[in-house]
Structure 1
C-alpha cells in the first residue's frame, strides 16, 4: 500500500526520542514540550490504522525481529475480520528473538519474599535453554506438541518456555495457586506431553506442598509423558511419584543434559548438536501460547496465540510505547497464570534485564516491591491497580522511605485505576513519574490502550490507543462515540488476534461467538469504556458478568463448580460488587431448609473454593438468600443480581421467572452502600 510516510524511519526516530527525565520535582506533562517527536503521536496513530499494512511491515523492521523467510504479502484479507492472515509466507522463531543476545549482561534476576536471589546472564540463559531443548527433543517433543507449566515466576520457568518454543512446541502455564480441578479444567483440553512443575511454593510466609496435585495431574492427564520437577527453594517436600505413563524427572537432568549420561538415547551426535541451539522456523501464525478464558459458562476456553503476532505486537509495545532498551531493568509483578508474565518475558527481545518475583507483594514488609526497586535499580515497574489501592491502605509511602532514583515509569493494569489511584502514585510514590495505565487482555495478549512517552497523562485516564490498533467506543446502535460510555471495539484486524480457540469447530464457532457477534465484523472486547474528548481512555470494567477482583478474570462457573460440592447449598450466584475502588466477589447462597450460613459453613465453603480453584476465587462476602433470580429458561440471572446490589434499576424484569426475588438483593444494597 502506498503512503507518503516513511514509517520505518519514523518509528526508529520515535524509539530514540528521549522520554522524560524521572526527576521527582518535574511533571510529565511539562516535560513533553522538550521532547516532541517528529510527528505528533495522534497523527502517527491515525496513519498507523489508515496505512496499517505499511505500518506493521515497518514495525517488523524497526523492532529488529529476526525472520527465517519473509513473504511478499503483509496482509491476506479474508471475507471477515477474523479470517485475515498477517504475514503469510513469513517464518520466524519466538525463542530465537528472545535469545538474540548472548553476552554477560544480566537477563533475569529472581527474587522472592524470603530474600532468595538469583541472576542469570544472557549467555547463561542461552546455555540452559540449549540443554533443556535438547532434552525435550530427546524425549520426542515435536513442533505443535503442548508443553505446560504448573510453575512459579522463576528463572527455570522462563528457560522451559524458551526451550519448548525453540522447538516449535506450544507453551501453556498455570500458577501454583490454582487448585487441581482448575488446572485439569485447562490442561486436560490441550493434552500436554511434558509438564514443568514446582513441588511447593511460598506465599505470605506459608509453604504450600503440591506433590499430591502433581500425582493427580500425572494420573489424570493420559497425554503426559514427562513430569519435570523444578528445584526446591524451600523446605524439602515429598516428591511426586508420577504414573505408569508419566515418568518424573528432576530439573538438573534437563539443564545438564549432554554433560553426563542423563538420557538413555544420548549419543555423541546429540552431544555435538546440543552445543548449538537450533530454532524451528515457525509460520507467522504457528501456535505459540495457549491462554485461558475465565470459565464463565463452563470450562475455560483455550485461546491460541500465534508466534509472529504475539512477538510483533509486544515488541511494538516495548520498543515504542515503553522505549525499552538494554539499559532498562523491567519488573512486572505477575504470576505465570496471568498474560502479563508472557508480556514481561518478551522483554528479553529488547536485551533488558527482567526481574522475576515469586511470593506476596506485602510479605514480609508491605513495601517489599519498592525495596527491590532501590536494590536492583529498577527503571520500569508494573503492578495491578488493586495492588496500588492496597499499598495506599497499608500506609506505603515510598516517597519518604525509598530513593526510587532509577524508576522512570510505573505501569498499572488488571483493572481500572481510579482517579484516587493516580493521586496516590503522584503524591506518595514519586511525583511526576510517568504513570502508564494500560488495558487489553488475555484475549489479545497485549493492549488496546496504553501509555506512550509523548502525550499528556491526565488523571484517571489512559493516555491513548496502541499504534496500529483501530479502537473505538460504540454505543448500542453500533456508532462510534466520544465522551460517552459504551463498548470497546477494534474495527480492523491486528497481528495479535488469536489464531483461534483450541478444539474449536472448523468454522471457528466459539471464537466468532466470543468476539464478533456484538457488532458486524468488528472485535467487541467486552469492556465498558469511554474515549474522552482530549484523546484519553477510561475503562469502567467488564461489560459482561466476568468477575474481576484486582484485575484477575474469574468466571462464575469456576466458583459454582466448587460450591456444588457443599451439601447444604442448593444453588448460588456470584457477582462482583464495586467496593473501595476495586471489585469484590459477593456470593449469595440458597440453602437447604435446615441449614444456616454460620461461620463454620462459610469457612468450609471458602476452603473448598480455595482448594479447588484458587485463593483469588474466594468471595469477600457471603449472604444467605431465600431465592435466586432466574430467567424464563431457567438460567441464573447474574446481571440482574449485579445491578440490584448496586442499587441500580434492573431492566426488563419481565424476562425473569421470579422477579419478586430481587427484593432481597435490593435490601442488600441498602445495607452495603
Structure 2
C-alpha cells in the first residue's frame, strides 16, 4: 500500500539510530529485520543505547539487566523473563524528562535534578506551544499553553500537592476529560515521585469507585462536567457521591471545565461541591492564585518505582489495577515515538483518546520529544465527521491517532478528508483499539492521503505500549501491522507452543522488556499477575490476541483469543466475520459470539441496521453468502438477529464476552465499564429459542 522512499528512510530517527548502533557495536545492518534481531539478542545494549539516543535525564547505572538472586539461584528458571529487572540501580524523574526540552533551553538545575550523560539534542523556546486544546461546541473553543505556562502551572499544582502532604509513593487520581489540566496535574504528581491514575468523566459513580476504591488516592482532581455530542454532562453530583464513597481521598480539586469552555472565563465557581465530611475542597484557579510559579524540584525515584496505575476494562470481572514503572514507561514510549513513529521536535501530534485509555498516557509522553500535543474533548462526529480533519489541517498535525472503528464509521458516512482539506504535515496515521480491516487500509490511502505511513498498532493497557507497531523503514501491507517493536521477541504460537508463520495462533512475547508491569496493585504475592500473562506458556508472555505472522514480517489480527469462535473444534477469529458484515451499507455495527448449543458451539451474529432497513431473508442470504464465499462454510452464522445497539467499552472496544455472558444467562460483573450498558438488556433471551438455521 505504501513504501518509504530513500529520503524518508535516511531522514528518519530510526535510520539514525541504526547508524549509531553500527558505529558503537561494529555491526553493519542492512535492514530492519537485522536490527530487530540484534535488539533481541543484545537487549541490554539496545535499551542502554535508547536511553542515550533519546537524551533521558537520569542516573544510569550498571547492570542494565539482571535477575534477582533468589530467582537466579533456583534450579528451575521458568519465570526468568517475568522476574528480570531492568536498570535496577538507576534513578530518574518522569516529569523532569517530559519537561526536559524546556529545561535544556534554560540549562535548568535544582538540587534534586539528575543530569543525563549526553548533551540533550531537544530544545524548545519557552514561548513555543506545548499544548493546544480544542473543545467540542459551537463557540469553537481553542486554548493554547506555552512550554513556560505548562512549567509554571505544574510548579503551582506541585506546591499545592506538597502542602497537603503528597509525597513519593502516594496515589493522586483524576476524574477528568482530555484537557490540559489533566496533563499538568499528572506532571505535578510525578514531579514529586507520586503515582498518577485516572478515569474519564463518562464513567459512572460505581465504576469510578470500583477503580479508585482499590488504589486509594489521597487527592482527587475532578472536572465539573464535559461535553459530548452537543450536550453538556454535569459531573458535580457524581463527584460528590464518589468522594463520599472513597474514604482515602482527603483533598479534592475542582476544575470548572464547563463554565470555562462555555464562556472562556477563568473565574472560579462558588460554592464548591456539596460538603463531604473528610474532604477538603478547593478549585484549580484558587490554587494558581495562592501559589506563585517557582522552580520545580524533581524527586528522583528508582527506575522500577510505580508511575501509573491503569485499569483493565473489567467487563467480565473486577478491573485489574495494572502498575507501570517510571523508567519502563518513559523508555518504551520514547522508543515507540522516536524510532517507530518518527516523532521529532516541533511535530504536532494528536490522538483521539480519553483519560481512561492508555493512549492518553502514550500521547502525553510526546512532550519528552519536544512536540506539541493536540488535545480534543468531545465527539469525533459532532457537529459532523469533518471536525477532526479541520483540526488536523488547522493545527498542522503530523501524527493523527484514532481507532479502527472511527475510520470504518468515517467511510460509511461518506466522508473523504482529502476533499475537506490539505494535510502537508501529516506523515503518520495510527490506528488501534480493534482490528483494522483491509478495506480500511484502502479507504485511508484513497480518501485521506496516498503518501502516508498507516501504522496499525497493537499492545494495550497491560504494557502501556505496543508489541507490534509501524516503522518508517519498511512497506505497509494491506491488512497487516508492519511488524514487531524493537527488542520485543514477538511470535505466534500454535496450541502446542511452537512458533508458526502464515498460520493463526496466539500472540506471545518470548523475552523480557522494561515496560512489563510491575504487577497488579495490592497483588502482594504476584499470583494474579502470573495467572494473567505467564502461566499459559513457560517463560513466555501470553497476550491473548489471535493473530497471524507473515513472511514479510507483518502481523494480521483476528480478534481476542477469549472471544474466538470454536464451532466443530475449528478456531475462528471474530474479525474475519466483521470484515464481511460491517462494510454492507445496511449495517451500522455487529457483534458475533459462540453459543453453547447441542454439545457444540454455534455462531450467532447480531447486527445493528440503518434505520431505513430491515433484516429480510434476502439480507440474511447476502450476509451468509459473503461470509461463506470469503471465509468458509464454518464461519457462516447459525443465527442472525437484529439489535438496536452494539455494546462497547468507553474506549470503543467490542465486548463479545459480555454479550456471551448475557446470552448464556451469566452475570456481567462490571456494567459500568460500558459506554452503552443498556444495550446488553436486548440480548437476554433473544437467542435461546432461535432454531439453528444453518444447513
- Please indicate, yes or no, whether the TM-score normalized by the shorter chain is above 0.5: yes
Residue of structure 2 in register with 1:116 after alignment: 141
2:379 paired residue among 360, 367, 390: 360
1:294-320 deviations in whole A, cap 9, x for unaligned?
A: 224421110000000000000000111
Residue of structure 2 in register with 1:557 after alignment: none
1:514 paired residue among 532, 544, 547: 532
1:247-299 deviations in whole A, cap 9, x for unaligned?
A: 1110012233423xxxxxxxxxxxxxx62101111100100000011224421
Residues 488-503 of structure 1: matches in 2 within 5 Å? 488-503=507-522
Residue of structure 2 in register with 1:71 after alignment: 61
Instruction: Give, in whole Å, the separation in 2 of the partners of 1:308 and 1:18.
Output: 23
**Cα offset, 1:233, TM superposition:** 3.0
**Cα offset, 1:120, TM superposition:** 0.6
Residues 151-550 of structure 1: matches in 2 within 5 Å? 151-234=176-259, 239-259=272-292, 275-506=294-525, 508-545=526-563
CA contact (8 A) 2:313 2:673 kept: no
Residues 623-642 of structure 1: matches in 2 within 5 Å? 623-625=683-685
Instruction: Give, in whole Å, the separation in 1 of the partners of 2:683 and 2:315.
Output: 21
Q: CA RMSD in A?
A: 3.0
1:195-249 deviations in whole A, cap 9, x for unaligned?
A: 1111111100011111111111111111101111112334689842241111111
CA contact (8 A) 1:438 1:447 kept: yes
**SS in structure 1 at match of 2:258:** coil
**Cα offset, 1:505, TM superposition:** 3.0
Closer/same/farther in 2, CA of residues 215 and 372 from structure 1, 3 Å limit: same
Instruction: Give, in whole Å, the separation in 1 of the partners of 2:47 and 2:39.
Output: 8
1:466-492 deviations in whole A, cap 9, x for unaligned?
A: 001011000000000011111100001
Closer/same/farther in 2, CA of residues 88 and 609 from structure 1, 3 Å limit: closer
Instruction: Give, in whole Å, the separation in 2 of the partners of 1:166 and 1:576.
Output: 51
Gaps of 5+ in 2: 1-8, 18-27, 72-78, 103-125, 263-268, 566-572, 576-602, 609-626, 628-652
Instruction: Give, in whole Å, the separation in 2 of the partners of 1:577 and 1:127.
Output: 54
**Cα offset, 1:137, TM superposition:** 0.3
Instruction: Give, in whole Å, the separation in 1 of the partners of 2:52 and 2:353.
Output: 30
**Cα offset, 1:431, TM superposition:** 1.5
Gaps of 5+ in 1: 1-10, 20-36, 260-273, 551-574, 593-604, 627-644, 646-660
Closer/same/farther in 2, CA of residues 450 and 579 from structure 1, 3 Å limit: farther
Instruction: Give, in whole Å, the separation in 2 of the partners of 1:153 and 1:348.
Output: 15
**SS in structure 1 at match of 2:220:** strand
Closer/same/farther in 2, CA of residues 237 and 277 from structure 1, 3 Å limit: closer
**Cα offset, 1:345, TM superposition:** 0.2
1:367-422 deviations in whole A, cap 9, x for unaligned?
A: 10000011111111000000000111111101222111221111101111000010
Instruction: Give, in whole Å, the separation in 1 of the partners of 2:417 and 2:174.
Output: 35
1:429-475 deviations in whole A, cap 9, x for unaligned?
A: 11231101100000000000000000010000000100010110000
**SS in structure 1 at match of 2:562:** coil
Residue of structure 2 in register with 1:48 after alignment: 39
**SS in structure 2 at match of 1:391:** helix
